[in-house]
């Protein structure tokens, strides 16, 4: 009876099989397990609109889909579709580092199951779970897409990067917060000469005309003269 393989390419050796090569094959399996759990692969998906498969190579370390972390690179000139075999069940951390304003879709090789797509301007990282939940139409799930809450520890900021990612604007909590509260943004945008202020005691924000603050232009000029 010949060896068989798992959906991620690990060799399952049958009794009496591979005499004299068990050590080599076992070492390959152990290395592959290490790669599956923590390996990194940089994969060029350069090119125009089209589909590119990520391979599972049985009993080998060469399969692109046999890594935990995958970074897509290269210049894309059309929308790209990246696929994995239908029986793969695992999770990936995938970063889209391509250049070019086109979408990148991650899906199973066949079927109409759910897929995950980076928009044309999304060059970020996603945690993706390949469910293999259906032999015909398996689903790919963006693990963070429906997260109900995100908490940043250690007084860390949320940063908004500029167009070339060279600088950012951050928002963070003070070093000590006396009590937990949430600020709720307005439902609609304000107009000229309005400021964002709290509208109740529960953290609801709204836009209010600055003229209601009691400081007119004339008063502001006078204060500037007096106080410098």
pTM reported for the whole predicted model: 0.72
Residue-level pLDDT at 169: 95
Mean pLDDT within 52-78: 98
Per residue in 147-159, pLDDT (tens digit) is 777 888 888 999 9
| pLDDT tens for each residue of 85-139 | 999 999 999 999 999 999 999 999 999 999 999 999 999 999 999 999 999 999 9
pLDDT of residue 76: 98
Q: Does residue 224 surpass a pLDDT of 90?
A: no
Query: Pick from 194, 226, 190, 198: which is nearest to 211 by CA?
Result: 194
| pLDDT tens by residue, 161-177 | 998 889 999 999 999 99
Kindly state the average pLDDT of the residues 52-71: 97
Domain ranges of the chain: 4-142, 158-227
Q: Give φ, ψ of 137 to 5 degrees.
A: -130, 65
What local confidence, expressed as pLDDT, does residue 119 receive?
95
The mean pLDDT of 48-61, rounded to a whole number, is: 97
The pLDDT assigned to 87 comes to: 96
Segment 50-54 shows an average pLDDT of 98
Q: Of all helices (H) and strands (E), which one includes residue 32?
A: helix 22-38
For residue 11, the tally of other CB atoms under 10 A from its CB is: 18
Instruction: Give me the torsion for CA of 186, 189, 193, 197, rounded to 10°.
Output: 10
How does 126-154 read in b/e, with b if 16+ C-beta sit within 10 Å? bebbbbbeeeeebbbbbeeeeeeeeeeee
Lowest mean pLDDT among 62-66, 68-72, 138-142, 200-204: 200-204
- Which H or E run contains 27? helix 22-38
């Amino acid at each position: 009876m010949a060896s068989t393989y798992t959906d991620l390419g690990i060799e399952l050796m049958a009794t009496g099989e591979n005499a004299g090569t068990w050590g080599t094959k076992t070492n390959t399996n152990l290395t592959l397990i290490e790669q599956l759990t923590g390996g990194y692969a940089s994969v060029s998906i350069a090119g125009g609109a089209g589909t590119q498969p990520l391979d599972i190579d049985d009993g080998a370390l060469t399969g692109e889909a046999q890594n935990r972390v995958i970074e897509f690179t290269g210049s894309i000139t059309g929308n790209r579709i990246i696929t994995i075999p239908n029986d793969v069940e695992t999770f990936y951390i995938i970063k889209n580092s391509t250049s070019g304003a086109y979408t990148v879709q991650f899906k199973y090789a066949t079927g109409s199951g759910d897929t995950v797509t980076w928009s044309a301007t999304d060059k970020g990282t996603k945690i993706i779970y390949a469910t293999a939940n259906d032999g015909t139409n398996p689903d790919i799930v963006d693990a963070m897409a429906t997260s109900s809450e995100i908490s940043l520890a250690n007084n860390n900021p949320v940063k908004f990067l500029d167009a070339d990612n060279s600088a950012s604007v951050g928002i963070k909590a003070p070093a000590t917060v006396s009590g937990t509260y949430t600020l709720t943004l307005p439902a609609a945008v304000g107009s000229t000469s309005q400021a964002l202020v709290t509208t109740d005691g529960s953290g609801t924000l709204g836009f209010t005309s600055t003229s209601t603050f009691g400081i007119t232009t004339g008063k502001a000029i006078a204060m500037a003269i007096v106080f410098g």
